[in-house]
Amino acid sequence: MILDQALFIKTLTDAGLVLSDEQLAQFDQYFTLLVETNKEFNLTAITDHNEVYLKHFYDSLTLALYQPKLAEGEPTLIDIGSGAGFPALPLKIALPNLKVTLVDSLNKRVNFLKTVVAELGLKNVTVLHGRAEDLGQEAKMREGFDYATARAVARTSVLAEYTLPFVKLGGELLVMKGSAGADELADGQKALTTLGGKLKESFDFQLPNQDPRMIQIIDKVNKTPKKYPRQAGTPSKKPL
């Protein structure tokens, strides 16, 4: 199925997420900035208009559909390894109430994210250059967020160490996965438990083009031991 802008709007509206004309204009502007910047350096392999709306914008917004509490109050969300801004920036456009922090280790991507935030006029967005392993040990960042997420960054066993140290007790890690999600969750159980996480809910669904997706909601039930995250590079080389 091709997801043009009209179908993007209808699919979200049917799911209960209604976008204003201003928000739709922001998505359009985001798409233009993404494609133009992608000519200078690689942000994404997906640049076709309808593909971006399906595989980047809509895919990112599935978090809002399966965790509706993101729309309540002013929750804080940190997106680790933000890359070109997915899923955090589409979520921020659709849910202006969110207070979002984006983290990436590459300066070019950080500068792109800052440009998007400025050009779209997004408020309460912080863009940080750094690695999750280092930032996760900073007192002002550690266990300071209601939600953490990441998209296409690492296997769950590694992802847990990148993200759970940022989540406050009672908060949630929102894991976005494809068809390997269940296997990764099983392999990552030790890491999740060690870092203070416990599976609350898991949702299997398909994008409008039938691509399989899974969202796992991980409750932060215990504080993360101080030794985690380990030093940069260790989580990926020696997963828990």
- Under DSSP, is residue 156 helix (H, G, I), strand (E, B) or coil? helix
Binding-site positions read 81, 86, 132-133, 151
Binding-site positions for S-adenosyl-L-methionine read 81, 86, 132-133, 151
Q: At which residue do the structure tokens 């949630």 appear? A: 172
* DSSP 8-state symbol, 231: S
CB 15, CB 66: distance < 8 Å: no
Residue 192: half-sphere exposure toward Cβ, Cα within 13 Å: 22
Nearest 10 degrees: CA dihedral of 209, 210, 214, 215?
40
* DSSP 8-state symbol, 163: H
* DSSP 8-state symbol, 48: S
